[in-house]
């Protein structure tokens, strides 16, 4: 949405921040795409993950190796809110069975990529160096398509950059937003 606004409503956007966005980052066009797509299928298999609150917690990669009560509490609250709002049922109905990314890529190629050069505001791209679903190479590919962008990588962060590196992430954002 942020990139769409910067493209179609540039007068309303002063600067742009994109954080590890698989919806914005392009495919790499080679065998590396198979790796991030497989990781994404595992991570975003909502047919398995969303069948219960306990399944969501048990399959959350962030909690697989480390106990994080604050993060677990956040996930539980989000699950319950999604359940009450009806969004959970929507995710379960729309869960991909084959994990095919062709519709996803087609939408990007039609609606986003041809227009990235229209983004004239400064753009900060923030990536985790240890994110299997949106690897740094995809962030670099996005930066190549956005001449006004600056890519910052947190080497030890995964997809949840703001959670993995909260102090550094907040300092980076504060510096960026106070330009």
What local confidence, expressed as pLDDT, does residue 108 receive? 86
Q: Which residues are catalytically annotated?
A: 159
Residue range 2-10: average pLDDT?
Answer: 89
Nearest to 43, CA basis, from 20, 24, 27: 20
| Ordered DSSP codes for the chain | -HHHHHHH-GGG-S-EEEES-TTTSPP-SSTHHHHHHHHHHHHT-HHHHTT-HHHHHHH-HHHHSS--HHHHHHHHHHHHHHHHHTHHHHHHHH--SS---HHHHHHHHHHTGGGGGG--S-EEEEEETT-SSS-HHHHHHHHHH-TTEEEEEETT--S-HHHHSHHHHHHHHHHHHT-
Domain spanning 2-41+102-177: which CATH class is it, in words?
A: alpha beta
What local confidence, expressed as pLDDT, does residue 132 receive? 92
pLDDT higher than threshold 70 for residue 96: no
User: How many CA atoms are closer than 13 Å to the CA of 108, on its beta-carbon side?
Assistant: 14
What local confidence, expressed as pLDDT, does residue 97 receive? 47
Distance of CA 32 to the CA centre of its chain: 17
pLDDT in tens, 35-92: 988 888 877 777 777 889 998 888 887 766 667 888 899 989 999 999 999 888 877 7
């Amino acid at each position: 949405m942020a990139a769409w606004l910067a493209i179609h409503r540039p007068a309303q956007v002063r600067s742009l921040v994109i954080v590890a966005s698989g919806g914005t980052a392009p495919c790499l066009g080679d065998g590396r795409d198979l790796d991030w797509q497989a990781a994404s299928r595992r991570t975003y298999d909502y047919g398995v993950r969303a069948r219960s609150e306990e399944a969501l917690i048990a399959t959350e990669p962030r909690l697989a190796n480390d106990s994080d009560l604050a993060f677990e509490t956040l996930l539980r609250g989000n699950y319950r809110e999604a359940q009450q709002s009806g969004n959970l049922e929507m995710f379960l109905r729309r869960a991909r069975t084959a994990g095919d990314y062709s519709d996803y890529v087609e939408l990007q190629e039609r609606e986003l990529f041809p227009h990235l050069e229209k983004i004239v505001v400064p753009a900060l791209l923030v990536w985790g160096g240890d994110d299997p679903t949106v690897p740094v190479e995809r962030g670099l590919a996005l930066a190549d398509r956005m001449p006004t962008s600056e890519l910052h990588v947190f080497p030890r962060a995964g997809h949840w950059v703001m959670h993995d590196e909260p102090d550094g992430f907040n300092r980076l954002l504060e510096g960026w937003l106070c330009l």
